Each structure stands twice: as C-alpha cells, then as structure tokens.
Amino acid sequence: MTTSVITLGTGSPIPHPDRAGPATLVSSDGQHLLFDCGRGVVMRLAAAGVGPAQLHAVWLTHLHSDHICDLGDVITTRWITTFTPTPLDIVGPPGTAAHVDAVLASLSADIGYRIAHHDDLDDPPMVRVHEIDPGEVHAGVPDGWSVRAAATDHRPVIPTLGYRVATGTATVAICGDTVPCEGLDEICAAADAMVITAIRDDVVRSIGLPRLDDICGYHSSLDAAARTAAAAGVATLIITHHVPAPGPGDADVITSRIADHYGGAVVVANDLDRIDI
C-alpha cells in the first residue's frame, strides 16, 4: 500500500498563473486528508482525481487567508455533489469554528437558493468543526491512521499547528508556516516526508521592501528547513509555498542550497506533484 503526498497548491498570497494557494493532500488506500484550502484548491483536487465529496476530512494549519480562502468552495462543492447529508469534518486550531461559522454565513443566500430550487435538497451543508490543541487527534482521522498535532511558531500568528500523519505505511509531517521550533522537530522526527513552507530569504530581502522583509521573520528559510530535516532524520524534504515562485533554473539553486545542510531526497514542489512513499 502506497502513501501519496500531492502538492495541490505550491504558491503564496502573491498570485501566480501556475501555482494555486497552499494545499496538500495525503492519500492512502482510498482515504484522503486535505491540509489547508488555498486559492484554487477545488480545481487542483479535480486535477488530482479527488472531489470534495471524497475527502475524509479537511485540516487547517492556521487561519491566514492564503491557507483558508477557498474553504467555502470545498464546503459548497461537497454539499451539492453528495446526495445524502454527508458531514464534512474540519479540524483546526482554536478560532476555526468562528471562521467556519462566518464562511457559512457568507454562503447563506446561496444555501437558501439551492434548497428552494432542488426538491431533493433539504438540509444546509453539514459541517463538524473540531478545534484541537497539541497532542493526539482523534476527530477526522481515518481508521488505521493516526495524527498528532504540535504547536508551531509563526508568531505573531497564534495559534498554529503542524501535523504528524501516520497512514499505517508512512509518516508525513505537514509543517505549514513556521520557523524552527520544538513542535516542528517533534512532528518531523524520522518522518518519511516533510512538507514545509520555505522562503528564498536571499531573494526576498534583496528586493528591499519592508513588507516583504516581514515574510522572512515568520517562515523557515531554505537553510532552516534543511537543518530541521537533517536533524530530524527526514527521508524526503518537500519544499512548497514558494516565495518567490521559482523561475527557470531556480529549482537547482534551491536544491543545491539545501544540500549544504541535508543529504536526503529533495522535492522543489510544483502544483500537482505526486510523491509516492
């Protein structure tokens, strides 16, 4: 049985025609967990051959807009493509429930239109929100899998969570946006794959805009991500949420900078890369 990590969206808040917003799918044996819901996530799910109706659960690392902006599309598309009330479990840090309530409120006109229009549609979207703290998670976890959450460090954004996902055949660390910290080390320890936001701080700082400089302060640099992966003994390091988006030849630069600190396999992810473990 294979576990697959599919980098659905590898972009950032900066729009890019070929990179959707942050979202990663972990799949094994017909079960799918979606981590974050960035720009275009439902289109990328379609390209991966997985509809919102097939998701076991949606997991959020934090409530930054680029990680959640298309959650409403996931909720709506699941609702209208299932023919019996099918709850969607959404797991995330404290604050997730208020956000989901706001998303549903923003959709209230649409929900009313569709219920009025379709005789076979009587109920609004069924969503079950599970706000969690660091530790073993039980909601939204497929049979035979386990997920452990740990606090990450993306301050001033609080709370943020990273996840250690064990599918039964592989362990994947979904790190999200974070600088090196104890929680990050915990979820990455001896993982088969580590998916992390890593910023080209050399390029970003060279632009000389304070607002861009701020980005470097609360994400891992390439060097930091590589050091974390090396210390944790990770087998494959997957770099995503690129800032800036890699141009021609940049993947080689990124790989070579990481190789200064880390000797394992490296994937400089593009949208819809599928890494089979």
Q: Is 201 one of the annotated active-site residues of the chain?
A: no
What tokens were used for 120?
């076979």
CB of 231 to Zn ion, least distance (A): 23
Compute the radius of gyration of the chain from its Cα atoms. 18
Give CA–CA dist 81/173, Å, rounded.
30
Considering the candidates 18, 29, 66, 185, report the single residue annotated as catalytic: 66
- Binding flags for Zn ion, 176-195, as an x/- string (CB under 5 A): -x------------------
CB of 138 to Zn ion, least distance (A): 26
> Which of these, 272, 28, 51, 60, lies nearest to 149 by C-alpha position?
60
Question: If you write DSSP's letter for every residue of 53-99 in order, what string do you get?
Answer: GG-SEEE-S---HHHHTTHHHHHHHHHHT-SS---EEEEESTTHHHH
**Vertex 191: Cα angle to 154 and 218 (nearest 5):** 10
Q: Is there binding between residue 64 and Zn ion (CB under 5 A)?
A: yes
Q: Which segment (50-58, 90-98, 108-116, 169-177) binds Zn ion by CB under 5 A?
A: 169-177
CB of 157 to Zn ion, least distance (A): 6
Q: Is there binding between residue 242 and Zn ion (CB under 5 A)?
A: no
What tokens were used for 49?
């051959």
CB of 177 to Zn ion, least distance (A): 4
Q: Which segment (46-54, 56-64, 200-208, 238-246) binds Zn ion by CB under 5 A?
A: 56-64
Q: Which segment (21-29, 34-42, 172-180, 228-236) binds Zn ion by CB under 5 A?
A: 172-180
Active site residue ranges? 66
Binding residues (CB under 5 A) for Zn ion: these are 64, 177
